[in-house]
Structure 1
Amino acid sequence: MRACEAFRNLAENAATNEVIAALINATRDKDSHVRWKACEALGELGEKAATNEVVAALLNARRDKDSYVQLGASEAFRNLAEKAATNEVVAALLNAMRDEESYVRMGACEALGELGEKAATNEVIAALLNATRDKDYHVRREACQALGNLGGKAATNEVIATLINATRDEIYGVRWRACEALGNLGAKAAANEVIAALINATRNEDSDVRWKACEALGKLGEKAATYEVIAALMNATRDADSYGRREACQALRR
């Protein structure tokens, strides 16, 4: 663990191939503190560490049973994006989205979403749109969330149509992530079709979908202040689930 901390303190000066290989190996150490510090160190190494191998190791670490290791891997992605050319990190994550293992694809979607607007390129948006059709619902769910985190550049007709379709996914986790994403896109997503889909989602059989739909409607701005929306939110104030009632009240307040 001390060796990992030393590499971290040396930062980019330590970013030789041998050091990077040693830290990648340390992300698989039996001691969770070593795995955690190895992730942190990788995140500090800068441009030379923005490789497919490092990204693969960090994606794997995000699934670690230890929460500190998970956090260290997530922070490492953000640090690499700041210290290295973001394009290199994004390219490695796009490569990971084509992996045969679904957990790798899921982690790549999640990481791209955490990079936010920095990652909002046409290539990333296209890859995430494709991921919303993945056979694994975990990947579809994280792709929806990532699209919602990319900011205004992602508020295209194709993205909005895809997210509307995802509000009808067979898996409730995908449905509520899609509602959340539409809300995160804000006023730019406030088309009639979006509003109609979210109103419909306020009546979904799953409580998480219902309250996320209410939350999203509250984020869409003045365009969503229609009679139909207000009626749906007033009805939601009587929801059996307290989260649904709370978000309906909050949305009406806005």
Structure 2
Amino acid sequence: MGEKAATNEVIDRLVGTLDDENSRVRRRAWDVLGNMGEKAATSEVINRLVGALGAKDSYVRSRACNALVQMGEKAATSEVINRLVSALGDENPDVRSKACDALGKMGKTSATSEVINRLVSALGDEDFNVRRRACDALGKMGEKAATGEVINRLMSTLDDEDSWIRRRACDVLGNMGEKAATSEVINRLVSTLDDEDSWVRRRACDVLGNMGEKAATSEVINRLVSALDGKDSHVRSSVCDALVQMGEKAATSEVINRLVCTLGDEDPDIRRRACEALGTS
């Protein structure tokens, strides 16, 4: 029934059902309130969610976090944010990951120094899913999360054993804009061009490209040129795009010669991108 059922009367009745003697009924009531999203984000529901974050049942704690994810900024009161920060230390990894999700969904509203510091700590969580969600949450906070400590921790995260997390760390650094475009970050991204995972290499190329002329050092350009010899066509394509974004600073004779050779690439998309790169050189 979806949104059609999200009337005040239905919401009030579901809130009453949160006290049902049967745990399965209580769980389903949390699920439904969560799925109703912002429509169910009344002060009474939010207060009940805050209380549920301290429930003995880890499933209820998890579903309460999930409901707050669906409600987003409408539920972003200081009390809720503080309670979610506490949930980052929950014994259950699913609760911790959902707490990261909820804080991320609240975006810049929740981006206090305390929240950011706790999310940075969560990047070292033993559970890979928590690390993933913490990375995503920091990414959604954008430049507000671009402190020196966060940037340093993200650079360390580029060595995470999980390739998905390494990929997201690249994305988050890219989303932080000029604050993250330091020589140290650029050098770290250059090293990431050797990552065993092609998606991580692609993301590193994309971020270096988005940094434009700031990243257009001779070392970066040389490494990008070398990456044009890689086996993965998507990486080669991302390299061409990065060179386009670096503009005239990348227009060395070596780069131009290499792009001319790339016009013979087996992949038509790469040949097209090489043309574009030559057009901006």
TM-score, L = length of structure 1:
0.78
Aligned length: 235
Distance 1:36 1:163, change over 3 A: same
Deviates more, 1:52-61 or 1:114-123: 52-61
Residue 99 of structure 1: SS of its match in structure 2? Answer: coil
Cα-to-partner distance string for 1:124-171 (whole Å, 9 max, x where unaligned): 101101101111222222222322221112111111111111111233
Map of 1:70 onto structure 2:
none
User: Using the alignment, how far apart are the partners of 1:245 and 1:158 within structure 2?
Assistant: 32
User: Using the alignment, how far apart are the partners of 1:114 and 1:126 within structure 2?
Assistant: 17
Map of 1:41 onto structure 2:
36
Q: Is the 8 A contact 1:43 1:77 kept in 2?
A: no
Cα-to-partner distance string for 1:97-126 (whole Å, 9 max, x where unaligned): 111111221222233223222221111101
Pair 1:220 & 2:211 matched: yes
Pair 1:198 & 2:189 matched: yes
TM-score, L = length of structure 2:
0.71
User: Using the alignment, how far apart are the partners of 1:245 and 1:26 within structure 2?
Assistant: 53
Structure with higher RCO (Cα < 8 A, 6+ apart) = 1
Residue 98 of structure 1: SS of its match in structure 2? Answer: coil
Residue 238 of structure 2: SS of its match in structure 1? Answer: helix
Larger Rg: 2
Matched AA of 1:48: E
Unaligned runs of 5+ in 1: 63-72
Distance 1:80 1:133, change over 3 A: closer
User: Using the alignment, how far apart are the partners of 2:17 and 2:70 within structure 1?
Assistant: 20
Distance 1:252 1:245, change over 3 A: same
Percent of aligned positions that are identical: 38
Q: Among 160, 166, 183, which residue is 1:175 paired with?
A: 166
C-alpha deviation, 1:92, in angstroms: 3.1
User: Using the alignment, how far apart are the partners of 1:114 and 1:88 within structure 2?
Assistant: 16
Distance 1:150 1:133, change over 3 A: same
User: Using the alignment, how far apart are the partners of 1:108 and 1:131 within structure 2?
Assistant: 11
User: Using the alignment, how far apart are the partners of 2:200 and 2:236 within structure 1?
Assistant: 13
Pair 1:101 & 2:92 matched: yes
Pair 1:88 & 2:79 matched: yes
Q: Is the 8 A contact 2:73 2:107 kept in 1?
A: no
Q: Among 51, 63, 77, which residue is 2:69 paired with?
A: 77
Matched AA of 1:40: N
Residue 203 of structure 1: SS of its match in structure 2? Answer: coil
User: Using the alignment, how far apart are the partners of 2:19 and 2:233 within structure 1?
Assistant: 50
Pair 1:142 & 2:133 matched: yes
User: Using the alignment, how far apart are the partners of 2:12 and 2:233 within structure 1?
Assistant: 52
User: Using the alignment, how far apart are the partners of 1:90 and 1:12 within structure 2?
Assistant: 26
C-alpha deviation, 1:90, in angstroms: 2.1
Q: Is the 8 A contact 1:112 1:146 kept in 2?
A: yes
Q: C-alpha root-mean-square deviation of aligned residues, in Å?
A: 3.2
Pair 1:161 & 2:152 matched: yes
Q: Among 208, 216, 233, which residue is 1:242 paired with?
A: 233
User: Using the alignment, how far apart are the partners of 1:227 and 1:27 within structure 2?
Assistant: 61
User: Using the alignment, how far apart are the partners of 2:177 and 2:13 within structure 1?
Assistant: 41
User: Using the alignment, how far apart are the partners of 1:242 and 1:226 within structure 2?
Assistant: 24
Matched AA of 1:210: R
Distance 1:183 1:12, change over 3 A: farther
User: Using the alignment, how far apart are the partners of 1:48 and 1:61 within structure 2?
Assistant: 14
Q: Is the 8 A contact 1:217 1:251 kept in 2?
A: yes
User: Using the alignment, how far apart are the partners of 1:28 and 1:52 within structure 2?
Assistant: 15
Q: Is the 8 A contact 2:192 2:201 kept in 1?
A: yes
Counterparts of 1:102-117 in structure 2, within 5 Å, are 102-117=93-108
Q: Is the 8 A contact 1:97 1:108 kept in 2?
A: yes
Map of 2:278 onto structure 1:
none
User: Using the alignment, how far apart are the partners of 1:188 and 1:11 within structure 2?
Assistant: 48
Unaligned runs of 5+ in 2: 54-58, 246-281
